[in-house]
Structure 1
Amino acid sequence: MRICGIRNDSLPRLLAGSGRATRRKRGLRSLSAALLTSAALVLAPAPASALDLFGWLPFGSSSSETDIPVTDPFPYTATLTVAGNGDDLRDKLSESSELVSEVERPPSGEAGLIARATSDFERLVGRLYVEGYYAGTVDIRVAGLSLEKALQMPSLPGPRPVPVTIRVTPGPLFSFGRIELDAEDGGEALALLETPAEYGLVPGETANSGKVLRAENRIVNDLKAAGYPFARIARREIVADHDSNRLDVRLMAATGRAARFGEVSVTGTEATDPDFVVTHAMLPQGAPYDPAAIERATKRLGELGIFSSIRIVPGEDVGPDGLLPMTIEVSERGRNVIGVGANWSSSEGFGVEAYWRRRNLFGRGELLSVEGSVGRIGDNSLSDLEYSGRIAFEKPGAFGPLTSFTTSLSARQEIPDAYRSRNITADAFVRREFDDRLSVRVGAELQYADEQDVFGNRTYLLGGVIGELTYDTRDDKLNPTSGINAVVFAEPAYDAKGGNFMLFTKGQVSAYQALDDAKRFVLAGRLGAGSIIAPSVSAVPAARRFFSGGGGSIRGYAYRNVGPRLAGEVTGGRSFVEASAEVRMKVTDTIGLVGFIDAGNSFDAIYPDFSEGVKVGVGAGLRYFTPVGPLRFDVAVPLNPEQDDPDFAIYVGLSQAF
């Protein structure tokens, strides 16, 4: 019987640490004899990296510096062959091999080539382990010489570029045999763990080394979640039986001492009040240690927008009282921010916007914003441009760390084809978070509007009380692939000019579902509806009525050109319903395609009675994924256009359509 045992506490690791070239020279014969003949491998892991489980480097990474010019470049050719296997394994090995993937970027001198080859040996063996092959051989030859002989030569013989050949014989595929989980602390720690199968270690399944790594991470995370901040894998035994092609795994966990959150301190603050940071983090002092609480605190501090980096670091030891001190390490961002943006569509024209923001105004996360925008730029005269200006103040933690207060004053002119509106609005809101998903916003609004539309010229002085409920489980706000986002809005209001009471209501829900594990195919859907209870359409300010059509509504139709009409002109409605569906496909990491259909309409009645039918638009789009969100390019066609609707419409913007 031939057995390969891999233990993490046996012997010093070969080929590890600094001075890799000299150690590799001394240890190459031992390593070759061990691996190339499938004899015993005895390795100890580097504590800093779990990826050293079986003595291999993280494949797909390169130790070379692309930005540093290579002195004395030494060209070579590389050929990799895999015995008895298809292209799939060969492709994976090629990705892991620096000799193959970096052949166009020669190393520095002969020593650099030999160093790359010896590093490749570890990478390729590691890749075989990842794929479940533990009896494979890797034969790398430089200028026809084995690595051991190449190291002994004063100069490499043969032609230039130097030929490098890599031959891999994977051997049989291994499956898991006996799986054991144990704990240094005895039964109490074991009671905190799941079964091996629930950690992905199932006898009979392919013995990929990545499964062992993932199981270890999950075991440690489970123990930390149970209140043990210094939990670790204390001992790992991997035994490969070459007669049965089985891999036996025994993992020994150590919990360390249980802990509770202790005193919280802050470092790195300059303009920010440290007490505000501690309060806003909401680490529950005295409660059992919980990594989820640290994650929530980090996210909460990050949402303030005033820090460029945030780390919450536990102390080195648990105190005699069981308390573990915590340190919040932050780095502050610049306090003044200037930004510009632009958008364009063939139906709505070109628009620009700019803003100035002062972060951390008084040292407790306050934000002062001055914003402005100009829209419908093109053939319009200056008097027919749309514009807006707004000044806003936001105070996080106004009534506790889960609340924020905002107030703003804005002025705008809107000139869609259906109406012209000039209005000034003042508002104030308090927002309360109940958890990461649920929040509510309540406040008041006062608006003066001077408008002209198909009903003539009218002025309004509208005051209202607003309530808004948001439920958001999206995994990514800019490019979601799972979850839902639901918003419900209500505002009872009174028009002092017209003497009319009104009730504005609106709701919208968007849902997202990835169809594959890589999240390259995503289905996205949106459904929205609203109602205004008012004496008539004309009693409602035109800018507050429901219009459909345009980039954020039914694509393909002219902006706000879908709805009930009077004398051929769109009046806006007291109700609406809209629905959208998209199929999103990521072609590469940066390029995506989208197919979509939008449908809906606005109606004169206070509920959608479908008296105006349903308008449908279809189209397709291109996405370019950037660090700040996907850049969107959509082309849409209206299937049942009316007056002023185009044959097709083009939309360009940042972020997904919904």
Structure 2
Amino acid sequence: MRFNRINIILLAGFLALWGCAKKVQTELKEPVEETGPRLKLGKVTFVGNAVFTQGQLTGKMTSQRGQRFDDFTFQQDLRKIIYMYQKKGFLEAKFQNREQRVNLEAQEIDYTLTISEGQLSAIGQIQFQGNSLYSDSVLLSLLKVKSGDALNLAAVKQTSSGIVALYAEKGYLYATVKDTIMKTEDGHVSNIVYRIAEGRQVFIGLIGIKGNKRVSQKVIKREMNLSSGEVLMPSRVYQNQQRVYSLGLFTEVRFEMEGLTEKSDTVNLLLFVKEDKNSWYGFNFGYQQPDRVQLGLEWGSDNIFGNLQKITLKTDIGYGLGKTDGLHPYTNDYYLDYLEPYFLSLPLKASGSIYYKRQRDEASYWSPLSRLGGEAKVGKSITRILQVYLGYKYEFLEETTTTTSDVFVSATADNRDDIFNPTRGYNVSARLDQAGSVLGGSNDYRKSTGETAFYHNLGRSFILAWHAKASGIYTFNRVGPVPIQERLKLGGAMNLRGYAQDEIYADTFSTVNMLVNGNLELRVPVYKMFGACLFVDAGNVWADIESVKWKQYHGGTGLGLRFYTPIGPVRLDYAIKTEGRMELKGGLIYINLGHAF
């Protein structure tokens, strides 16, 4: 028994020594299958490459020097390199030799890879068989590959798929294409033959809708322009699906095609929808030095009567913690908004708003100022991004019992990629108001406003955004000062940071107000959902048009932090005035939800 134990121990020792000897071999001819937890990829050298540089080849690899070596990933990288050659037309490319060397001191594996690139394979003739709907010349003009090009196998397959899609757009959903590469006497030139089976044309049968409960079918059908008996085109089906989804009432919209699997001549379309919650709640908040706090609450429904009508209840409250002559400044605004998306069953949008606004601050001479009013407008979408409106506003000022009767026209062009966190695009708007005269009311004035904002993606999530606004108002007929509720003002978190809310305004008794405002922001990513912003604001309000001089501006600049959410950023800004001597300690802090523009 003792003899057996000694033999076992000696045998185990011998096997251990033999394993160590194999491990310290410095040159290997076969791939390393198990490198252990400490081995890393060292230097990879390519030999025989002329089409691609060393950097281009290593740049295609997922495996990187200094990272733990994984043989499976490394083999995938080699296949990707061969595929890269094949896409260039070098179909015979291969690795002739793979030499590995283990550097025990550095705990690395170095590779020397010898490539045989082979000769470039080119496309000879391109032929079509079985096509009658499209001529050879039409198909040739649409191909991604041409005679004389490098023979790219992936492009050949993509061309086959493209021909199938081309036939499908004419209703030939069952068309098939088989591509064949034919060798010629010149071993490096191949002809391509596309054999097309066109099949039968497919038509739309019945059209049904399922899954809607609160949303009426009328709303859904209004967005669809498909009809029974027409040719079934995949692109039109997709467009209709997108139009229904863009209503914003559904979490899922999809078409099922009954009869497609059986290759029927007529296919029924069944639209499945999954309704989203139509009611929502919202809030916003803010703080502006020296002592102003803001809070907003809102509730809305995007389908109040089942026909896509929208209703919103909203309140915005601002309160000054400090006192002036023993009084706290405040603003209390209340709104009820309604939207009818298809006014009189026409492609017209109609909206109405009733509001009550009450304020007491420096702009109201520290007396309560209460306004009760309403606004209605009708508009139309001219293009995907352009909308125009014609509207009317009536307002009653309680303290003076004066009224304003105002008709206006407005236009908006908006192609931002995201209304809450835009990274590219623009938003341009203009509005003209005419109050009084034949419209009646106590106030006669004309007002015009133009506003634009542009967003530029500089790369690496850096966004350059700029905004400009110009507005003017003047009274006529019963000449008097600009009505107190229509006076133009600047200052605060949304237009001129570094200044208190509405700190800048024109002479109280002026019959003209002119406003110019500009903003520039560089929005910079910091970490995940956090960002920073460098900004410059400038602007002024003048009492007549002759006084408008850009040199007479008020400016502010500062730095902000952002925490991005799906509904806009929570932003913290610190800004100082740029007039005179700038002092960091003299700035103001602003906390708000959403971008300034």
Q: TM-score, normalised by structure 2?
A: 0.70
The equivalent residue for 1:544 is 486
Pick from 512, 526, 531: which aligns with 2:467?
Answer: 526
SS of corresponding position for 1:305: coil
| Match of residue 364, structure 1, among 262, 285, 307 | 307
Unaligned residue ranges in structure 2 (runs of 5+): 1-29, 47-52
**Residue deviations 1:35-88 (CA, integer Å, cap 9, x gap):** x99xxxxxxxxxxxxxxxxxxxxxxxxxxxxxxxxxxxxx94563453347678
Secondary structure in structure 2 of the residue aligned to 1:499: coil
Q: 1:392 aligns with which of 337, 356, 378?
A: 337
Q: One-letter code of the match for 1:430?
A: V
Aligned residue in 2 for 1:580: 519
**Counterpart in 2 of 1:473?**
415
Does the 8 Å contact 2:173/2:202 carry over to 1?
A: no
CA deviation vs aligned residue, 1:399-458 (integer Å, no higher than 9, x gap): 34733332232222345543364222222232322331121222322222347xxxxxx4
Inter-CA distance 118–86: structure 2 relative to 1 (3 Å threshold)? closer
1:498 Cα deviation (Å)? 6.7
CA distance, structure 2, for counterparts of residue 409 and residue 532 of structure 1: 24
Distance 1:647 1:138 in 2: 72
Alignment of 1:557-636 (within 5 A): 557-565=499-507, 574-586=513-525, 590-605=529-544, 609-610=548-549, 613-636=552-575
The aligned residue for residue 377 of structure 2 is 429
CA change 1:118–1:413 in 2 (3 A) is same
- Do 2:164 and 2:177's aligned partners in 1 also have CA atoms closer than 8 Å? no
Name the SS for the 1:418 alignment partner: helix
Partner of 2:432: 490
- Partners in 2 of 1:250 and 1:655 — Cα distance? 58
In 2, the alpha carbon distance for the partners of 1:534 and 1:439 equals 29
In the alignment, residue 579 of structure 1 is paired with which amino acid? G
Q: Say yes or no: does 1:508 pair with 2:454.
A: no
Flag the 1:581–1:120 CA change in 2: closer, same or farther, 3 A: same
CA–CA distance in structure 1, aligned partners of residues 566 and 112 of structure 2 = 39
Q: Measure, in 1, the Cα distance between the counterparts of 2:288 and 2:188.
A: 62
Contact residue 583 and residue 594 of structure 1 kept, 8 A? yes
Is the Cα–Cα contact under 8 Å of residues 406 and 436 in structure 2 kept in the other structure? Answer: yes
The residue identity in structure 1 corresponding to 2:469 is G
Q: State the identity %.
A: 20
Find the aligned partners of 1:255 and 1:584 in 2 and give their Cα distance: 53
Match of residue 499, structure 1, among 428, 435, 442: 442
Residue matched to 1:310: 253
Cα gap change, 1:260 to 1:346, in 2 (>3 Å): farther
Provide closer, same or farther for how the CA distance between residues 269 and 178 of structure 1 changes in structure 2, counting only shifts above 3 A. same
CA distance in 1 between partners of 2:345 and 2:315 (Å): 31
Alignment of 1:1-12 (within 5 A): none
2:63 and 2:286 map into 1 onto residues whose CA distance is 40
Q: Give the conservation status (yes or no) of the 8 Å contact 2:490–2:540.
A: yes
1:412 maps to a residue whose letter is: K
Could you say which structure has the larger radius of gyration?
A: 2
CA distance in 1, matches of 2:446, 2:171: 53
* Cα shift readout 1:166-214 (whole Å, capped 9, x = no counterpart): 96949478988439877666375466668579x59998899796x8898
Secondary structure, aligned partner of 2:489: coil
Letter aligned with residue 403 of structure 1: L
Q: In the alignment, what sits opposite 2:215?
A: 272
* Counterparts in 2 of 1:215 and 1:583: CA distance versus 1, 3 Å: farther
- State the partner residue of 2:270: 327
Shift of 1:281: 3.4
Query: Aligned in 2, Cα 1:90/1:478: closer, same or farther, shift over 3 Å?
Result: farther
In structure 1, what residue type is equivalent to 2:417?
D
Q: CA deviation at 1:334?
A: 1.9
Counterpart residue number, 1:32: none
What's 2:62 paired with?
Answer: 94
* In structure 2, C-alpha distance between the alignment counterparts of 1:583 and 1:255, rounded to whole Å: 55
List aligned pairs for 1:63-142, cutoff 5 A: 76=37, 79-81=40-42, 82-84=44-46, 93-94=61-62, 121-122=75-76, 125-126=79-80, 129=83, 135=93
1:407 paired to 2:349: no
Give yes or no for contact 1:315–1:325 (8 Å, CA) kept in 2.
yes
- Give the secondary structure class of the aligned counterpart of 2:219: helix
- Aligned AA (2:383): D
Q: Render the CA deviation track for 1:266-308: whole Å, top value 9, x for unaligned.
A: 1211111123211133447776666665555445434433212
What letter matches 2:248 in structure 1? G
Contact 2:572 2:591 in 1 (8 A): yes
Q: State the one-letter code of the partner of 1:310.
A: V
With over 3 angstroms needed to count, the CA separation of the structure-2 counterparts of 1:319 and 1:287, relative to structure 1, is farther
Instruction: Give yes or no for contact 2:337–2:354 (8 Å, CA) kept in 1.
Output: yes
Rounded Cα–Cα distance in structure 1 between residues aligned with 2:406 and 2:355: 16
Asked if the contact 2:160/2:177 (under 8 Å) is kept, the reply is: no
CA offsets, 1:549-580, max 9 Å, x none? 2232233332222232459xxx8962222233
Question: Could you tell me how far apart the structure 2 residues matched to 1:345 and 1:194 are?
Answer: 66
- Stretch moving more, 472-481 or 378-387: 378-387
C-alpha separation in 2, matches of 1:584 and 1:503: 37
Seen in structure 2, the aligned counterparts of structure 1 residues 614 and 306 have a Cα distance that, compared at 3 Å, is same
Task: Calculate the aligned-residue CA RMSD, in Å.
Answer: 5.2
Distance 1:333 1:378 in 2: 41
Question: Distance between the aligned counterparts of 2:520 and 2:295, measured in 1?
Answer: 28
Q: 2:392 corresponds to which residue?
A: 444
CA separation of 1:280/1:637 partners in 2, compared to 1, >3 Å: closer, same or farther? same
TM-score (norm 1): 0.65
SS where residue 276 of structure 1 aligns?
Answer: helix
* Cα distance change, pair 140–606 in 1 and its aligned pair in 2 (3 A): same
1:653 deviates by: 3.7
In 2, distance between residues paired with 1:307 and 1:366?
15
Shift of 1:333: 1.1
Which amino acid is 1:527 matched to? A
Separation in 1 of the partners of 2:440 and 2:276? 47
Partners of 1:625 and 1:468 lie apart in 2 by 31
Distance 1:561 1:498 in 2: 29
1:337 to 2:253 alignment:
no
**Residue 86 and residue 473 in structure 1: after superposition, are their counterparts in 2 closer, same or farther (change >3 A)?**
same
Q: For 1:210-236, what per-residue CA distance to the aligned partner results, in whole angstroms no more than 9, with x for missing partners? A: x88987887776666x54574888446
Give the Cα separation in 2 of the matches to 1:247 and 1:591. Answer: 55
Is the contact between residue 160 and residue 178 of structure 2 (CA under 8 Å) also seen in structure 1? Answer: no
Secondary structure, aligned partner of 1:334: coil
Distance 1:620 1:398, change over 3 A: same
Task: Give the CA deviation at 1:119.
Answer: 7.7
Q: 2:295 aligns with which of 339, 343, 352?
A: 352
1:331: how far off? 0.8
- Take 1:282 and 1:559, find their aligned partners in 2: how far apart are those partners? 50
In the alignment, is the contact (CA less than 8 A) between 2:516 and 2:539 conserved in 1?
yes
Q: 1:169-248, aligned counterparts within 5 Å?
A: 169=113, 171=115, 177-178=122-123, 186=131, 188-189=133-134, 226-228=169-171, 230=173, 234-235=177-178
Query: Partner amino acid for 2:293?
Result: F
Q: Which amino acid aligns with 2:273?
A: V
CA contact (8 A) 1:592 1:622 kept: yes
Q: Gaps spanning 5+ residues in structure 1: where? A: 1-35, 38-74, 104-115, 145-162, 452-457
| 580 and 338 in structure 1: CA distance in 2 versus 1, 3 angstrom threshold | closer
Q: Give the whole-Å Cα distance in 2 for the aligned partners of 1:176 and 1:514.
A: 41
Distance, in Å, in 2 between the alignment partners of 1:479 and 1:246 is 53
The Cα of 1:325 is off from its aligned counterpart by 4.2
CA deviation string 1:79-105 (max 9, x = no partner): 3453347678657633799x979x9xx
The alpha carbon displacement at 1:357 in A equals 2.3
